[in-house]
Amino acid sequence: MRTIEWHDGVVRMIDQRKLPHEFVEVEFTDYRDVARAIKEMYIRGAPAIGAAAAYGVALAAVHSSARNRSQLLADLKEAAGVLRGTRPTASNLLWALDRMLAKAEDQALKDIREIRLALIAEAEALADEDVEINKRMGGYGAELIEEGCSILTHCNAGALATVDYGTALAPVRTAWKQGKRVHVFVDETRPRLQGARLTAWELMSEGIPMTLIADNSAGYFIQAGKVDIIFVGADRVVANGDVVNKIGTYKLAVVARENGVPFYPVVPTSTVDLATASGNEVPIEERDPEEVTHVRGQLIAPEGVRVANPAFDVTPHRYITGIVTEGGIVYPPFKKALRAVVEASRQ
């Protein structure tokens, strides 16, 4: 089951806002609607957002009324601009758009028809690659998981955050398929509850043992010796190894270091941003205050309360044990090692 797919000029995706109570798929034929779906979190997770952006560009190409190459390229750049503005933090979004525009500008493509077909094929290739990359990361990460291991994860970095299989949950899935007994502590992940709604749903669907916990109880379980390793995803990893991920990740990493628990982000190299020196330079998305004041449409705070709602935080590289990528596990010093694994992935 894929989170997002292309079907004869239509982009079909799971509406993750409805889970776990309803499984609903929605279809879009306009890139603007894909952009809205990204912004409103029908689809979320850095790799899945990247795939959605790629498919959005393909839609723009298919439905453009351009009569020549220059008009089509102008339409595609406009579409990319709209898609680029949906989620400012996720590196995969920018990477996917740059990849699609580079394909559109390929001089080997002779006419508009060839460009359109090439962009559909490129978006499909990007999606297929995501699945294979995730499985490779799962293999590397599973080597860190011992029999009877207790794992903690934050937010949802499973199949729903990617095209399929997942990032942080990929090692868990692989270890489980290898026959290892594992148990997963799942942070609920306020304010949108991606852990409670999505990660719990994924793990329970596959019969992988798990326990849902409140975010503010994670430290208790770590300190009590009930957590052997922590896997998280990331929306961006910058050149020095700082990791930008769902809000609440930073405090997990600090508590993990204090208690000697290894902490591993699991990320494809498409999430690595070598052009940004440190996490302090990454724009942090500020989301709707109602995500904090309301739960399922029900007001839980005083009317008119002042709210701050950053979607992500930055975990400094000094708190990170290693970073699992499709090219292997990267260890400090991250600046040199990340560049090497990214360059190797492009060969």
Alpha helices in the chain (DSSP H): 31-39, 46-63, 69-84, 91-104, 112-142, 170-177, 194, 200-206, 218-223, 249-258, 290-293, 334-345
Owner of token pair 């498919």? 55
Query: Cα–Cα distance between 234 and 47 in angstroms, integer?
Result: 10
Q: How many CB atoms lie within 10 A of CB 33?
A: 16
Q: Residue 324: name the closest of 158, 146, 166, 137 by CA.
A: 137
Q: Residue 62: name the closest of 111, 4, 107, 119 by CA.
A: 119
**In the numeric block, which tokens belong to residue 82?**
């709209």
**In the numeric block, which tokens belong to residue 165?**
């299989």
Among the listed residues 164, 187, 235, 273, the single catalytic one is 235
Sheet holding 272-273, edge to edge: 272-273, 236-238, 243-246, 312-315
Residue 130 known to be catalytic: no
Enzyme catalytic residues: 235
